[in-house]
């Protein structure tokens, strides 16, 4: 599993989303730096999400590795599980 210090993580989310809240609450308990991208407040973030995934559904975690490779991870449970695995 990659070290979270070598990853750039961004969470694409929106207000009043139960699934987004699940991920955000999990993040609060972790010592992982994650950039929040509220697609209702940031039209550039919404465009990025739609271009990358073809959809505007959230939450989606954007994972950029040190070598620049980018992975987009949807599904709140998968995101929470992945973030938990970064803790070791």
CATH of the domain at 48: 3.40.30.10
pTM: 0.91
For the chain, the maximum distance between any two Cα atoms, rounded to a whole number of angstroms, is 35
Strand order of the β-sheet with 34-38 is 34-38, 8-13, 60-64, 70-74
Task: Name the residue range of residue 68's domain.
Answer: 4-86
* pLDDT tens digit sequence for 5-60: 689 999 999 999 999 999 999 999 887 889 999 999 999 999 999 999 999 999 99
Q: What is the pLDDT of residues 73-84, one digit of tens each?
A: 999 999 999 999
Q: Mark residue 75 as left, alpha or beta (left: phi above 0; alpha: psi -120 to 50; beta: remaining).
A: left
Which ranges constitute the DSSP H helices of 7-86? 18-28, 43-53, 76-86
Domain total of the chain: 1
Q: Which token pair is 54? A: 């073809």
């Amino acid at each position: 599993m990659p070290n979270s210090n070598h990853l750039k993580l961004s969470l694409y989310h929106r207000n009043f989303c139960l699934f987004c809240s699940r991920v955000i609450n999990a993040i609060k308990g972790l010592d992982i730096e994650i950039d929040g991208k509220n697609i209702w407040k940031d039209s550039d973030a919404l465009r990025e999400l739609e271009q990358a995934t073809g959809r505007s559904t959230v939450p989606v975690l954007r994972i950029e590795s040190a070598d620049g490779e980018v992975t987009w991870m949807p599904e709140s449970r998968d995101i929470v599980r992945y973030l938990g695995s970064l803790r070791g």
